[in-house]
């Protein structure tokens, strides 16, 4: 795969990742659809899109995916949707991305990785930025929504860790989406008294599931063939920024000084972790 193709696919994938934040926020802010219904439609439409992609590729093995990974996927999607009832697109994406990276880095440390000075400084900057973002004040994001998004990020980090080396990533993702769909349906039925459908909200949910999630993940996994691990990790630093700009343009959301400072601290700290040089032996 050429460099130009990798670049285009990577750009499309980052737009898709940020698009999930924008579509969810658009649906829950601008329509009457409820978060549980949005989650169910998103996961179901994502499962359908991935299933169609696998059929086009020649089929999917029955063993693809697992129930534990599907549970982590469902926990991410549900927390993501309910968090965006109150969070702005940029703040939500920043909290999600920070929690995902913290979970994966923390797992590495727990497994015995010893961070050098640059990684240590990066982690302190990232956690300091997160603490500053969530500290009480007029511009602080809602605490309940923030906790839900952090939980969603942890769930997605666990899902990502479980998916490493699990076989063909698109096939595994399709299997996990298919397993997570009934869980989302159960949640929607459990919250039936609060169910609210909206035609435009349903369209946003389908676009989030089928395009930004199903097709977006497939594009990303294809792009990964042309990226090394550091590039793959660092390019995702752009997602919160894209989401914040999209929120400003499409939702009229303000980019506060607190969000800007926290973004520099969190994303800059994570960048220090990602780009830490290996010691020469």
The answer to whether 34 touches 78, Cβ cutoff 8 Å, is: no
DSSP summary character for residue 225: G
CA–CA dist 110, 262 (Å, integer): 26
Mean pLDDT lowest among 47-51, 233-237, 260-264: 233-237
Judged against a pLDDT cut of 90, whether residue 85 lies above it is answered with: yes
CA–CA dist 237, 52 (Å, integer): 30
CA–CA dist 247, 5 (Å, integer): 28
Class of residue 241 by CB neighbours under 10 A (exposed 0-12, middle 13-18, buried 19+): middle
Tell me the domain boundaries of the chain: 3-274
Summarised one tens digit per residue, pLDDT across range 208-256 is: 999 999 999 889 988 888 877 667 777 887 888 899 999 999 999 988 8
Tokens in use for 30?
């601008």
What is the longest distance spanned by two Cα atoms in the chain? 62
Percentage of residues in the chain having pLDDT higher than 70? 92
Summarised one tens digit per residue, pLDDT across range 151-180 is: 999 999 898 888 766 668 888 889 999 999
SS3 string of 56-96?
Answer: HHCCCCCCCCCHHHHHHHHHHHHHHHHHCCCCCHHHHHHHH
């Amino acid at each position: 795969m050429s460099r130009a193709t990798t670049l285009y696919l990577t750009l499309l994938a980052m737009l898709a990742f940020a698009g999930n934040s924008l579509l969810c926020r658009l649906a829950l802010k601008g329509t009457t659809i409820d978060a549980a219904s949005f989650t169910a439609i998103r996961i179901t439409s994502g499962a359908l899109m991935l299933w169609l992609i696998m059929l086009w590729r020649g089929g999917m093995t029955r063993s693809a995916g697992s129930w534990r990974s599907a549970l982590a996927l469902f926990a991410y999607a549900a927390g993501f949707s309910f968090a965006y009832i109150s969070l702005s697109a940029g703040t939500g994406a920043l909290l999600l991305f920070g929690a995902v990276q913290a979970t994966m880095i923390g797992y590495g440390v727990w497994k015995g990785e010893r961070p050098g000075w640059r990684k240590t400084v990066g982690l302190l900057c990232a956690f300091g930025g997160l603490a500053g973002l969530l500290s009480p004040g007029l511009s602080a994001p809602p605490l309940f929504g923030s906790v839900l998004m952090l939980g969603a990020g942890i769930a997605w980090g666990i899902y990502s860790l479980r998916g490493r080396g699990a076989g063909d990533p698109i096939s595994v993702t399709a299997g996990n989406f298919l397993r997570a769909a009934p869980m989302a349906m159960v949640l929607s039925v459990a919250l039936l008294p609060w169910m609210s459908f909206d035609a435009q909200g349903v369209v946003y949910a389908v676009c989030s599931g089928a395009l930004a999630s199903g097709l977006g993940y497939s594009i990303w996994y294809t792009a990964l063939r042309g990226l090394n691990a550091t590039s793959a990790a660092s390019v995702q630093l752009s997602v919160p920024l894209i989401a914040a700009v999209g929120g400003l343009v499409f939702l009229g959301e303000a980019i506060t000084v607190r969000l800007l400072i926290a973004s520099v601290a969190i994303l800059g700290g994570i960048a220090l972790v990602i780009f830490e040089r290996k010691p020469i032996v």
